[in-house]
Structure 1
Amino acid sequence: MESVEHQLQQQQQPLAASVHKRAVRNVITAFAFLMVALTLFSNTLLHFSLPQVIVEQAAPGFLSHDVTGTGTVEVAEIADLNLDTRWTVDQVFVKVGDRVTAGQTIATFRTADARSTLLDEEARYEQKKLSIGKLQDGLIEAERNGNALQSRSVERDLESAKLDLQIQERKLKQLRGQLEQGAALVSSVSGTVVELNASAGLAPQSGRPIARVTDEAKGFQFVTTVDASKAKYVSVGDEVEVVVSSLHNARLKGRLDTIRDPVSSAGSQTGKSASASSSRKELIVVLNDDRLTGGEEGELFASKKMPSSRQLVSNAAVREDDGGKYVLVLKEKKGPLGSEFYAQRAAVTIPDSDDHKAEIASGISPIDKVIVTNSKPVQDGDRVMMAQ
């Protein structure tokens, strides 16, 4: 009986050892799988926590500089209407804002006083002529008597009287010219009255034109101001477009006539105001369109296409710090679990840029992948992931 039990114990010992080994192998395998799973899980979490980036490669193309600015349509020239005298106004036939045609009467004036003055001045002229005749007789008498001193005195008086007569002749000529001009102020141009300095019963104010009328024959001009950095891309003589909203957004062709510093309403500019003015330029565009009347609001559009560039990238890709301008290039590094990506700083030279693209003269190659946008802040050396 004891021998039978001993035999059974000997048979069970190898079986127990085998079960123990399998259990150890299972634990080791499970631990290995757990470590791989944890590694993959942690890598996945890290992967999704990385900044997502969108990249592009530099490509050849053209930069195009757009110049835009809002402004107002104005008449190109305003005619000042005046008379050589300041007679009292009799009647005024127009008001500010009225449209007039060439030859139309603006106002009439009272000339009765002027005609009376002319008669008085004509009488004075005759008096001066009589005075000269009297002096001539006196000179003859002095010479006949051989009185040299008296002759010289009379000669001086005679010369003075002749000068007075010349002055009187010019005065009469002016008065007659004023009366011949007529008792009315007539417009010399067709256009709109923008200023009127005439009221019935009063003389027009001195130092100001009696009326100012836009000269439609000279056309219209569009005036706007733009940044000086933009103005350098247009030149006098360029053809541009002005969109006028009140004319159903009509695109009017125009010619750039003037590029200048903005005119200061306060005269000379100093200090801060002068600096601000130097950063702006005033553009004047000549327009010719029968639909324009002046005062319309508009917007200027001009474009300058630059020569071909070898490498262009989006403006969003260009960054700047204390070291200058740079881009972040996407770099790839092989790892045990696949490729890893990180950002690398590349200093670049940018000779020109427009509203959308920047030209890269040096710092990257056409095969480099440049980071354009990123979901989180990215610096040199940071790991990133490609956006799906």
Structure 2
Amino acid sequence: MLAGCVGGQPPVDEAADRPVTVLAPWTGPQAETFERVLESEGFDYVYQGTAAQREVLLSQVQAGTPPDIVIMPGVGELSEYAADGLLEPLDGRGLYEPAHYGAPWTPRATGKSGRHVYWVPVRAALKSIVWYRAANGRPASVGAREWCVGLGDDGAAGWPASDWIEDLLLQTAGPRTYARWARGELGWTAEPVVRAWRAWGSLMKANGPGPPRWALLNDHRGAAGERGLLFGGRAETDERCVAEHQGSFALDLYGDAAGRADYVPSTPYLPGTTAPRGREVSGDFAALFDDRDKAREVFRFLASREGQWFWASLSGASGSSVYSANSAIGVPWPEDPVTRRIARDLNDTSVPRCLDASDVMPPAVRDAFYDAAMQYLAADGRDPLPWLRDIQLVHDHEKRRPWMTDVCG
């Protein structure tokens, strides 16, 4: 204090002045693109990208050193931190523009200070779509052995299976039933849920009683150094791989072949569906652990029209495709018709948009979902009930955990 008085300078608050720490799921080219966004404003930051985000974040929170900003798809996870009073409320503080983020992008969650918005999507993805090689034309149908399927992943093997089942439930039962299921109000052995699992089983196991081992052994990104499942390896000459049920981020996996891919709604290829009853979407949601000025400044830019526009304008740079849920930025890719359609479909309100259900669920239920889907696919039969009962046990145990309320919009 004496030194501060003598020198004529106020004491330095080292905690407030330290770099802003950001934890997110992107590594490699995607991380490079994101860091270009942070560097564009000259922010003083430290970035940490990891596929094991749940484990890393949990260990940091338990150690009392959480990141200032976390960006993750699991809003079910974030809702637990909000309920424990660890996240800063965002609404009414000028940290984002509510008019730019319609439902379902900014659902409210319950924290110690009441119901608030605790996260905003800074990157979005369109699901409920099927990719195919444009040169071959849109496939009239896709047989069981013609799907490009891989369920492997570094951080959460099995999640591509959850996308299939979620899409089937959304299109066959509609958004209201889908939302009830995602919120934990509809049991796992309820008829619409069982029907969706059986429909997926019929797609994957149509060619015999044995499990489709290729789906269990493949990584959803394809082999290392290749161009995803649709263009990697022998895919283009192997008639067994015709189409891929995957989100818009598949373009990142296709690399220099991305310009040769096109997509259509998934409903023509799903049993029991005719026209889309909803679009499944997902996002990477930013939440604030620290309320200091420097952290708020970074957060405000990431959620702003300017920040979202700049990031989206880098789409394609370093092999990273970026789409925004911010309705104010329009479509910054006039030269690419496929990415224009993705951006348009993400912000199309004529069909209900529903958040990825497993992302909304409590982490324990989500993980049980992924694991059960893998086990069900590995089994000979098509009856999913034994695995659905296992998930229900986890679901019942997690009933006291916070569940999301706003899923579709």
Question: TM-score scaled by structure 2?
Answer: 0.18
Structure with greater proportional helix content: 2
Structure with greater proportional strand content: 1
Higher alpha-carbon Rg: 1
